[in-house]
Structure 1
């Protein structure tokens, strides 16, 4: 039966290989290597810190955070779960995984929140960013590893870069959504008080969108945790390496132990970040509070004076 492929075969894979191997890698690999320096510095500092702090002190800190933001039950679960991880001999790997996750989420927040704000304030920016996010979210996670290895090599830092790319879309999307969903009457009130765009963003839009932004941060964290495990295939350490080593050796016990450690860490981080977002953004910002902030920070313009008149 006739098909378009009978008339024309497009060597798409050859084009990609020629582009990456023939032009991108020879010309830009030093730049990509230099770009991973700050990631390596943050990752190594966090890894050294978490592995230096005694297990009981780290467990107590996470239990207190869980108590404050997720309740007493979660604090007890944190104590039991972290003690179990230590007793099965996976505490150093868990701390390395924690350092990788925090590094990934930190860079995702630094990149994603400003991009989300720009996308919310410019429809053209959102039209450009949206298809890029669609591609980032639909490409299988393993596909990221091939170009990452070619451009950055192997190791923990390239694994973090792959994790950042994989986990970045939710925080951009939800930051954009939160900013765009701010009530129109509050925007009009801010404009009537002559607030600048920066004042409106800081005193009005971000406080009202904080719950949605925190939800995006939570989803980014969970995606980072899943990708950190896959990144072990290109030299990243932590619990992902334990799981992959167990799979490669058909060591069911070792792979299961690593998986259980990942589950415990995921639950603790998920509940703490969820509770943190709900506690910080749980109270609805009233119009009176917003107008008070705008009056206090708007500068010296008289009430009701427009920017044009000023």
Structure 2
């Protein structure tokens, strides 16, 4: 047995720190929650305002534009049709709106931080262990501070999803920037490129395939986290899964799980095709 005299708990200090943050920055948290709630309402209104058949046509045309393959074009549309067939269309759009807002927030912060990591070894050394800890932390742990700062609902779901989903895009942006050929960068500098021109015209475009792969992984992680966020009353497909588990309703759980899988497949296939399209002209 471990000697009790060596016991030391950091939990109380963490709780005190969280309480201090809440007391000190409560107005800022309220303003952030209000802005996220407003953005979420607008995104959800857009998704639900467009008829279901228009979205299916858009996804089908986008799949054809990216793949030029009949099967890969028709399959996403058919899969989306099954979501509506199960009566889960509006709920799926609710889930998709949370995913979109979380991913936009992750990209707005993760891509610039990834670029900073790519051009500075010191910043890379600071953020690498932080990202390691974020990716190894159990996903449900993120719900606790999000719920403390923003109560229940969709805003804490967005915050928890953002924290959980940001590491892939930040890591892969860093990787893409660092993998740009030194010879190409030296040639650009020799032709008089400034640091900003070097980033905008050389590094960032050549790193784009890696960045797009990070966007894909971030979106997949956000979609998986949104299901867990049903525990903080985020609603959507995650709530359907949670209710099905509580009631041992296998059929309801299958339909909700199927809708989540369909969204993941469509997003993954389209984003992967976009990465291939970007890479092929450069190969």
Band of TM-score, shorter chain: over 0.9
- In structure 2, the partner of 1:200 is 198
| Cα drift, residue 129 of structure 1 | 1.0
Aligned Cα RMSD in Å?
1.4
- In structure 2, the partner of 1:215 is 213
SS at match of 1:282: helix
- In structure 1, the partner of 2:159 is 161
Q: Distance in 2 between matches of 1:11 and 1:176?
A: 35
Q: Which stretches in structure 2 are left out of the alignment for 5+ residues?
A: none
SS at match of 1:226: helix
| Cα drift, residue 36 of structure 1 | 2.6
Return the match for 1:242 from 240, 256, 270.
Answer: 240
Q: Which stretches in structure 1 are left out of the alignment for 5+ residues?
A: 286-310
| Cα drift, residue 282 of structure 1 | 2.3
| Cα drift, residue 25 of structure 1 | 2.1
SS at match of 2:212: helix
- In structure 2, the partner of 1:149 is 147
- In structure 1, the partner of 2:103 is 105
- In structure 2, the partner of 1:227 is 225
After TM superposition, the score normalised by the length of structure 1 is 0.87
- In structure 2, the partner of 1:177 is 175
Return the match for 1:27 from 15, 24, 27.
Answer: 24
Is the CA contact (8 Å cut-off) linking 1:59 and 1:82 kept in structure 2?
Answer: yes
Q: Distance in 1 between matches of 2:159 and 2:214?
A: 19
Work out the number of aligned pairs and report it: 282
For 1:1-310, what aligned pairs fall within 5 Å after superposition?
A: 3=2, 5-21=3-19, 23-70=20-67, 71-284=69-282
CA deviation vs aligned residue, 1:90-111 (integer Å, no higher than 9, x gap):
0001111111111111111111
| Cα drift, residue 280 of structure 1 | 2.1
CA deviation vs aligned residue, 1:191-247 (integer Å, no higher than 9, x gap):
111111110011101111111111111000100000011111111121111111111
Q: Distance in 1 between matches of 2:233 and 2:64?
A: 35
Is the CA contact (8 Å cut-off) linking 1:29 and 1:152 kept in structure 2?
Answer: no
CA deviation vs aligned residue, 1:255-286 (integer Å, no higher than 9, x gap):
1110000001100010001111211232227x
| Cα drift, residue 128 of structure 1 | 0.9
Q: Distance in 1 between matches of 2:63 and 2:155?
A: 29
Which is richer in helix? 2
After TM superposition, the score normalised by the length of structure 2 is 0.96
Q: Distance in 2 between matches of 1:153 and 1:178?
A: 37
